[in-house]
Structure 1
């Protein structure tokens, strides 16, 4: 299986599609089915969120999904069991989104080794202190994981420079201030911000937070971006009382977004 950065670099004619879902929402069986559906519908990379009790970077939709998953008994060990079941069957590499505290509670090296053995290829930790990133990066290198650092336009210029320099291969550009969630418009100033980062690094850039429909994707696909992350809109598909209908909505939405990316690449 290709690494996350190899997937992003290979998409020279279009952006990579990176859907996000919450592990264990609405239950572990649906998560497994959703992973297979997203992979079948052409997701290039899939981001899987580990539910956490204090998800500071997440908006109301993902917060609710995380709360529900935890109350339903979702645990890190169950995540590992899920990953073992799909490992080798899903073509798209998996990125784990988690907060720093669950990593510390497990033990940094133990956590990283376990997720790597279970098939995870990338890691996003939004509250990882930059000062502690070097140690985590060294362990990620040891276990063939790619740590994806986040950067936001609200960050001071010198801090942005440090993040860009320290990042392994991929930088996650946060497209809006605040938490994740559905938004009606895309911040057009992000295009210039992305251009500025691209001018100083050859590392891949993925864009996320607030991207929620085909119009957003069509617009962003014109920018100098390597991958588009969509979270709340995918999670919302699964917020259906009928689980099968939720999976059907997820499948249709993924297909629609993928087609939007492909159509934009044909026009460019």
Structure 2
């Protein structure tokens, strides 16, 4: 069974998914951060594939992308870094990024490499749902790689149901129509959106992303979904601390305190 599916079956609530950018702050920090997140108690991890034009991301993640690329990060380098990770990493691992580098690498080659190193799923926000279903789903299925779709407050009920029917693992529930790292707190509009989606009784669990940064926002998100995703706030933690292991342990513990 895919590790993502297994996680939500055995641990259906208060799941913490942490995003970080591969090759940031330093080129060879990828595995170090991944292992530290596992040791600190993260439930699953998204590793960002640096891209030169991350349009959906705010300044913090844009800066981490640029620095990682300047450090020499690439898709090939990332797969090299993740080789043999399953000797020490047991939690679900996803790669997140934009479709262009995947197309350049070759979709089948990319999925094959994911399967070989032990990646469980992909999040490609700019890949259209219809294009995935028509062209790429058989390749993803062949290699056992889940494709995680995003929904926003603007996504229609019809599209949400289509995504739910063609998904496994979880649905990435973007909290607002903004860029990453820009929100503070949960607004009434967001709560109405969360309630609308919950009332649809979807078969897949949801994780809420964009605007989650600390214990308070994590707990609030968990009232409406199976957990939440932290990105920009975590990037700032690794950006500002030399002792990564200690900083990561402290931060994850503060987010999940008492849970």
For residues 138 and 53 of structure 1, the distance between their equivalents in structure 2, rounded to whole angstroms, comes to 29
Residue 217 (structure 1) aligns with: 218
Q: Tell me whether 1:7 sits opposite 2:7 in the alignment.
A: yes
For residues 218 and 25 of structure 2, the distance between their equivalents in structure 1, rounded to whole angstroms, comes to 26
Residue 175 (structure 1) aligns with: 175
Mapped contact 2:94–2:119 kept (Cα < 8 A): yes
| More off after superposition, 40-49 vs 188-197 | 188-197
Q: Tell me whether 1:98 sits opposite 2:104 in the alignment.
A: no
For residues 188 and 83 of structure 1, the distance between their equivalents in structure 2, rounded to whole angstroms, comes to 41
Mapped contact 1:9–1:226 kept (Cα < 8 A): no
Residue 21 (structure 2) aligns with: 22
Shift of 1:49: 0.4
Structure 1 residues without counterparts, runs of 5 or longer: 263-268
For residues 183 and 123 of structure 1, the distance between their equivalents in structure 2, rounded to whole angstroms, comes to 24
| More off after superposition, 246-255 vs 230-239 | 246-255
Matched position secondary structure for 1:24: coil
The count of corresponding residues between Structure 1 and Structure 2 is 257
For residues 167 and 97 of structure 1, the distance between their equivalents in structure 2, rounded to whole angstroms, comes to 16
1:54-103 deviation per Cα after TM superposition (whole angstroms, max 9, x unaligned): 11111110110000000110111110111114233112110100211011
Counting only pairs closer than 5 Å after superposition, residues 1-268 of structure 1 correspond to structure 2 as 3-12=3-12, 14-134=13-133, 135-198=135-198, 199-223=200-224, 225-240=225-240, 243-244=242-243, 246-260=244-258, 262=259
Shift of 1:31: 2.2
Scaled by the length of structure 2, what TM-score is found? 0.92
1:231-262 deviation per Cα after TM superposition (whole angstroms, max 9, x unaligned): 0111111112x522x443222111111225x1
For residues 76 and 146 of structure 1, the distance between their equivalents in structure 2, rounded to whole angstroms, comes to 18
Matched position secondary structure for 2:202: coil
Matched position secondary structure for 1:87: helix
Structure 2 residues without counterparts, runs of 5 or longer: none
1:132-187 deviation per Cα after TM superposition (whole angstroms, max 9, x unaligned): 11132221111111110011111234333332333234211101112111532123
Mapped contact 2:18–2:230 kept (Cα < 8 A): yes
Mapped contact 1:237–1:247 kept (Cα < 8 A): no
Matched position secondary structure for 1:211: coil
Q: Which runs of 4+ in 1 moved over 6 A?
A: none
Shift of 1:116: 1.7
Shift of 1:194: 3.0
Scaled by the length of structure 1, what TM-score is found? 0.89
Matched position secondary structure for 2:8: helix
For residues 255 and 188 of structure 1, the distance between their equivalents in structure 2, rounded to whole angstroms, comes to 28
